[in-house]
Structure 1
Amino acid sequence: MTNNRVRPARVDEAAELTEIAVRATKHDGYDDDTIVRFMPGLKVNLALIAAGLVFVAEGEAGIRQGYVAARPTGIGGLILLEGIFVDPAFWRGGVGSRLFAAVVELSRKMAGSVILINSNPSAVGFYARLGANKIGTTPFVFSPDVKLSMFAFEIPAG
């Protein structure tokens, strides 16, 4: 397992973070045509970076391993997980768990009580292991034929 730290993302990293999201999604088995449909959901949001709502896992020699993004919803205490994307080269090394821990801390700072997660099929087990509870399904807005599992994660008192 590679050592890493989690830190706020910088706007100048947006293209590289988007590439991580594309690599992770392709590794899940989606073809190039599907990736094109998914791109609005894979492209990292610059406004979220500027607002301090995107965090990067960075390993040795500054290698970016993945990122997480979240935002408040405006609905009392509900935080939306915009996504966790880990470069496939670093899967199963604890990077995703560290990124999720960072978003839990961020959510606490935003007075969050629940994180809402829309999970692709391959990440369902990951969120369940973290303690999130499945609450339903929803079509992916950029490709309605893909069904996402909806999870709610109750933020523990910290």
Structure 2
Amino acid sequence: MTVNQIRPAHVDDAAELTQVAARAVKNDGFDDNAVARFMPGLRVNLALIAAGLVFVAEGDDGVLQGWVSVRPTGIGGLILLEGIFVEPAHSRRGAGSRLFSTAVGLSRKLAGNVILINSSPSSVDFYARLGANKIGATPFVFSPDVELTMFAFTIPPV
């Protein structure tokens, strides 16, 4: 099933969005213990929902397929991609790309010119295909044994 719409998230979506993130990470090969350690980084931020910085992909049937969240950093033009999470049943069907495109559009509205991405090991190829440039690596704050690849995506002019 393809993405029917991308819409702003609602506060009442929060629990389901967090579960989508947990299932996506588990699908990437992490076990329940790892997901529990990662949970502070997987839980959707209610303040970002209220600020209109979280968007949801829905299918024709209204089922949530994934979500994306961005955050301004306060450093001129730099936007942080908080995360893109896609329900495993909808992985590799365009939802992630549509959500990233939404993040780019939203970042433009926030006067962003670069999106900073901390990618899980399983998403490195995804961000590279989208045109993001690898700029380094960092340990995941909630599980330092997991190394995240850092990318910078330059937002193209309109």
TM-score interval, smaller chain: over 0.9
| Structure 2 unmatched runs, 5+ | none
> Could you list the per-position Cα deviations for residues 36-59 of structure 1 after superposition, in whole angstroms to 9, with x for gaps in the alignment?
100000000000000000000011
TM-score, normalised to structure 1, is 0.99
Instruction: Tell me, in whole angstroms, the C-alpha distance in 1 between the residues paired with 2:103 and 2:29.
Output: 26
Q: Tell me, what secondary structure is at the counterpart of 2:61?
A: helix
Q: Cα distance, 1:81 vs. partner? A: 0.2
Instruction: Tell me, in whole angstroms, the C-alpha distance in 1 between the residues paired with 2:124 and 2:89.
Output: 20
Q: Cα distance, 1:3 vs. partner? A: 3.7
Report the counterpart of residue 68 of structure 2 in structure 1.
68
Instruction: Tell me, in whole angstroms, the C-alpha distance in 1 between the residues paired with 2:33 and 2:61.
Output: 34
Q: Tell me, what secondary structure is at the counterpart of 1:157?
A: coil
Instruction: Tell me, in whole angstroms, the C-alpha distance in 2 between the residues paired with 1:113 and 1:4.
Output: 28
Instruction: Tell me, in whole angstroms, the C-alpha distance in 2 between the residues paired with 1:31 and 1:22.
Output: 10
Report the counterpart of residue 153 of structure 1 in structure 2.
153
Displacement over 2 Å in runs of 4+: none
Q: Tell me, what secondary structure is at the counterpart of 2:55?
A: strand
Q: How many residues align?
A: 158
RMSD: 0.6
TM-score, normalised to structure 2, is 0.99
> Could you list the per-position Cα deviations for residues 2-32 of structure 1 after superposition, in whole angstroms to 9, with x for gaps in the alignment?
2421110000000000000000000011111
Q: How is 1:1-158 mapped onto 2 (pairs within 5 angstroms)?
A: 1-158=1-158
Q: Cα distance, 1:63 vs. partner? A: 0.4
Q: Cα distance, 1:60 vs. partner? A: 1.4
Letter in structure 1 aligned against 2:127:
Y
| Structure 1 unmatched runs, 5+ | none
- Overall identity of the aligned pairs, in %: 73
